[in-house]
Amino acid sequence: DAEITQSPRHKITETGRQVTLACHQTWNHNNMFWYRQDLGHGLRLIHYSYGVHDTNKGEVSDGYSVSRSNTEDLPLTLESAASSQTSVYFCASSGDPTGNVREQFFGPGTRLTVL
């Protein structure tokens, strides 16, 4: 069955370290998204991609970067982790080859703690 996976599921790191969160989908979706979820804020968009080599900034992109070298993967990098980036991170994808973009499918999330 097609799915979207994230790794690691839990991560503890120190301030200033570079961290990369992985996202892999087997839906063959064109669109991929990274969100962070914090209490009281819902899901906020960090970066998104509409295809290979396409990346765009979301509303909370400072301190984060992404690259899209293939259809299946969109890794999220925290260049220099800060305590304010402690959060739960969700990856999502949408847009199958038939053009159906009705639903975003979400991964299980990565819980990141920056000490």
Partner 1 sequence: QKEVEQDPGPLSVPEGAIVSLNCTYSNSAFQYFMWYRQYSRKGPELLMYTYSSGNKEDGRFTAQVDKSSKYISLFIRDSQPSDSATYLCAMRSHDYKLSFGAGTTVTVRA
Whose tokens are 């199958």? That residue is 96
CB atoms within 10 A of CB 63: 14
Q: Using CA atoms, how far apart are residues 37 and 21, in angstroms rounded to an integer?
A: 15
Among 34, 60, 90, 112, binds partner 1 (CB under 8 A): 90
Site size toward partner 1, by CB under 8 A: 24
Residue 50 or 72 having the CB closest to partner 1: 50
Instruction: Catalog residues that contact partner 1 under the rule CB under 8 A.
Output: 31, 33, 35, 40-45, 48, 50, 58, 90, 92, 94-95, 101-104, 106-109
